[in-house]
Structure 1
Amino acid sequence: MKQHMNSRLRSIPLLLSVAAVFSCSKPGAHVSNQAVDKMDVSPVAAAAPAITSFVHPGVLNTQTSLDYIGGQANGGDAGRLASYQKVLDFCNSHSVPTSFYATVVVGSNGATSPSKSQIRSNAELAYALALRWAKTGTDTYAKQAIQILNGWSYTFQKYALLNSSTNPNQPALEASWTTPSFVAAAEILRYYKPFGRSSGWSAADINQFNNYLNNVKNNYINKCPVYNNNWNASAAYAKMAIGIFLNSTTVFQNGYNDLVKYLPVIIKSDGSIPELCDRQDCVHFQYSLTAFAYAAELARIQGDNGIWTYSSNLISKGYDFMRAAYNGSTGCNYCTTSSPVFPGTEVAYSYYKTGNLGYLRGLQDPLGVPNDNTFLGFTTYTHYNVPGL
């Protein structure tokens, strides 16, 4: 059942003026996973009015968009089926897990572990299966997606560090990446009914998933340090997604306020993003862009285009800079046509429809999942040429 927002968010310029006062604040203190929503209130969040209800599903997909893409694919539309094939390819190349980790061990700078690899790929798989169920209405796919969500919800306890060289804050980033993908799957399973069929996800299991979200939010995502880069953009996006599922206007607004605080810090007024040159790769600045694009879309679904339009479409300017990087004209040219194009590009194109974004999304059309399973994928299937986006 779709719920509708009854009031809109206050303008971004006001949020930024308040946020600037607190831009040097330290990460929040440790809180229990039983903490109530008021634990998420910061001086920034308190400055903005809360919305009164949420649109569901509301994490990148809506009732209308899922109806549209499923109808097109089931009706034999060649373009939609080609992009849906990316969903099938991922499902067919990844087994549904039967065991899960109580402790997820994470490393920095690409260092991995079996538990880190599994939770990342499982987040993508749960979402892919949810999309597959939304298209087909086949109970098997809903049950498989639920099995993944329940597996992590009931088993996961904590993050741990791989070794002494691991950034002690790494769990905050890892939780910021995987959690929204789990939430996107959960929104579909909880609220969408293809062909009138419910997924069968029980109230007890949904409550346990809520507990999981509060655990990773309170103990990891909320403790993300101020790095003024993709870490902060990712954490803000994650809190917005979590807030939607928890039906918590406070959690959502806290993420929203953080997002608009970091947006003009990370993307400069000319669209440049220092992460490209600082990291000397074509990925880290796309982490920031993807988090911003996904967060802007979450807010748009809830009735607010302000993140998309802030500062004369600053996110679009960031993608203009990305196009310049692929064109070899940024002064630190680390992008080539073989570099991965992250799926946030498709979501940004669905809103802005600029020539630069059209060029970028066309480099690897149709887009699937990021090569490192950080952000959710399949955006060509869910967003390309979907009316109203």
Structure 2
Amino acid sequence: MTEPLTPGPSAAPGRRRFLRITAVGAAAAAAGLPLAHEAAALTSFVHPGVLHKVSDVERMKTRIAAGTEPWLGGWNVFRTDQYSQSTYTMKGPFATVDRGTTEAHNWELWNDCNAAYQNALMWNLTGTTAHATKALQIIKAWSSTLTSITGKDAQLAASIYGFKFAAAAELMRYTAPSGAWTAAEITRTENLIRNVFVPLVNTFGDAGWGTNCVKAMLAFGVFCNDGAIYDAGVDAFYNHGCCKVGRVLTDTGQCVDSGRDQAHTQLILGSLAEACEIAWIQGQDLYSASSDRLLAGFEYTAKYNTGNTVPFTTFGSCLATYTSLSTVERGVLRPIYEMAHNHYVKRRSLPTPWTYTAIQRIRPEGAAFQCDHVGFGTLLFTL
């Protein structure tokens, strides 16, 4: 079963641009970052432009005020979530966070990143100043304190948590109450991203590690107004040997982690969709890359995880090969499907029958596992 193929109100980005190689591209080369071969450099950025532009926020507010489903159900899940509360108690900040070795303050950082992002959205959707205050409290505290991320999984922490942190900072930079965030404080936040997050993330990596880095680099580039950082993410999406979309997904939609487990498979899909959504706002269509390979990935994974049979060929990442389709966490659907469904159905008029089947089982989408995704797609991305 699928929704009618009716284009939504956001059938195209506000500023569609077929972009030219410019001085931004020269900046990428000067910084030692690769330049995208299949999508030329941006000349400017749309702000706010990490997942939500102004018209997206207005759409949500209008739907909530009208009490229209499925947005209302999505709103009720979002507004009652623990991280959406202005009374949230900040867990940090700390100078050093470790993931994968000592785990020092790892839990604290991802909790605070969730709360910063969700309070930034709550501020935009309700106009309640307490939410803006909470989001900025968290952003300012960590940006003035965090100096290093360590551990064997440091890159994952920097990409996953950094992405959510940048999404929060981007919203607040362009919507914060007047005088609430000084230019010096904003610069300090940029410096945190440039000096702590980017050096860990811009090496990318295999499979899910790499795709998380892709989405993070796009978000970092937008917030920092840095074409070199942004272009490095786009280049990896198209060209990186171990995490490009054409490597992590086959033309049938099978994922490099389909034989590993379904949680990591969905982590890859969700991360790629988040990267594509940022690029779409910026006027670039990554969603259609490799003949809509991402759509094939969502359909394959949704079909299998809603109890159906799919083909499988021995396949894997650059570091691991799998000979059979994994049943580990099969049927445990992550809140990643609304974003892709709404793009392909509402903007592109393409069918997504299995993706929509998955959506029907979990709608309204709620919070993501830990800090892995944005979540709440029924509210945030239904067009």
TM-score by length of structure 2 reads: 0.81
Q: Distance in 1 between matches of 2:38 and 2:353?
A: 37
CA positional deviation for 1:373: 1.9
Conserved 8 A contact 1:341-1:360: no
Aligned residue in 1 for 2:299: 320
Conserved 8 A contact 1:6-1:53: no
State percent identity of aligned pairs: 26
Q: Deviations over 1:254-312 (max 9, x none)?
A: 111101221101001211113121x2x2111111111111111111111122x111222
Q: Distance in 1 between matches of 2:288 and 2:203?
A: 29
Aligned residue in 2 for 1:126: 116
Q: Distance in 2 between matches of 1:312 and 1:291?
A: 18
Aligned residue in 2 for 1:95: 88
In angstroms, what is the RMSD of aligned CA positions?
Answer: 2.6
Aligned residue in 2 for 1:349: 341
CA positional deviation for 1:338: 5.0
The aligned amino acid for 1:157 is: T
CA positional deviation for 1:322: 0.4
Aligned residue in 2 for 1:202: 182
**Is 2:43 the partner of 1:61?**
no
The aligned amino acid for 2:340 is: A
Q: Distance in 1 between matches of 2:143 and 2:238?
A: 30
Structure 2 CA distance for partners of 1:45 and 1:309, relative to 1, 3 Å: closer
Structure 1 gap segments, 5+ residues each: 12-35, 162-167
The aligned amino acid for 1:266 is: V
Pick from 89, 96, 100 the counterpart of residue 107 of structure 1: 100
Q: Which moved more, 1:355-364 or 1:123-132?
A: 355-364
SS in structure 2 opposite 1:276?
coil
CA positional deviation for 1:341: 1.6
Written as runs of structure 1 = structure 2, the 5 A alignment for 1:1-389 is 7-9=17-19, 40-45=31-36, 49-88=40-79, 89-91=81-83, 95-97=88-90, 99-107=92-100, 113=103, 115-161=105-151, 168=152, 170-192=153-175, 198=178, 200-224=180-204, 226-227=205-206, 229-261=207-239, 262-277=244-259, 279=260, 281-305=261-285, 307-326=286-305, 327-330=307-310, 332-334=325-327, 339-343=332-336, 345-353=337-345, 354-384=352-382, 386=383
Q: Distance in 1 between matches of 2:106 and 2:130?
A: 26
Higher helix share: 1
Structure 2 gap segments, 5+ residues each: 1-12, 22-26, 313-324, 346-351
Q: Distance in 2 between matches of 1:107 and 1:257?
A: 28
CA positional deviation for 1:6: 8.2
The aligned amino acid for 2:363 is: D
Structure 2 CA distance for partners of 1:370 and 1:276, relative to 1, 3 Å: same
Structure 2 CA distance for partners of 1:124 and 1:40, relative to 1, 3 Å: farther
CA positional deviation for 1:337: 7.0
Conserved 8 A contact 1:341-1:363: no
Q: Distance in 2 between matches of 1:286 and 1:178?
A: 17
Conserved 8 A contact 2:39-2:284: no
Q: Distance in 2 between matches of 1:312 and 1:6?
A: 20
Aligned length: 340
The aligned amino acid for 1:320 is: E
Structure 2 CA distance for partners of 1:4 and 1:41, relative to 1, 3 Å: farther
Q: Deviations over 1:40-96 (max 9, x none)?
A: 443444886421111111111010010110122133335323211222223367833
CA positional deviation for 1:114: 5.4
Structure 2 CA distance for partners of 1:90 and 1:199, relative to 1, 3 Å: farther
Q: Distance in 2 between matches of 1:214 and 1:75?
A: 41
The aligned amino acid for 2:288 is: T
Higher relative contact order (CA 8 A, sep 6+): 2
TM-score by length of structure 1 reads: 0.80
Q: Distance in 1 between matches of 2:197 and 2:146?
A: 13
SS in structure 2 opposite 1:82?
helix
Q: Deviations over 1:99-142 (max 9, x none)?
A: 4111101117xxx8351111112111111101110111111100
Conserved 8 A contact 1:126-1:144: yes
Conserved 8 A contact 1:172-1:222: no
Q: Distance in 2 between matches of 1:61 and 1:198?
A: 20
Q: Distance in 2 between matches of 1:317 and 1:37?
A: 32
Structure 2 CA distance for partners of 1:6 and 1:250, relative to 1, 3 Å: farther
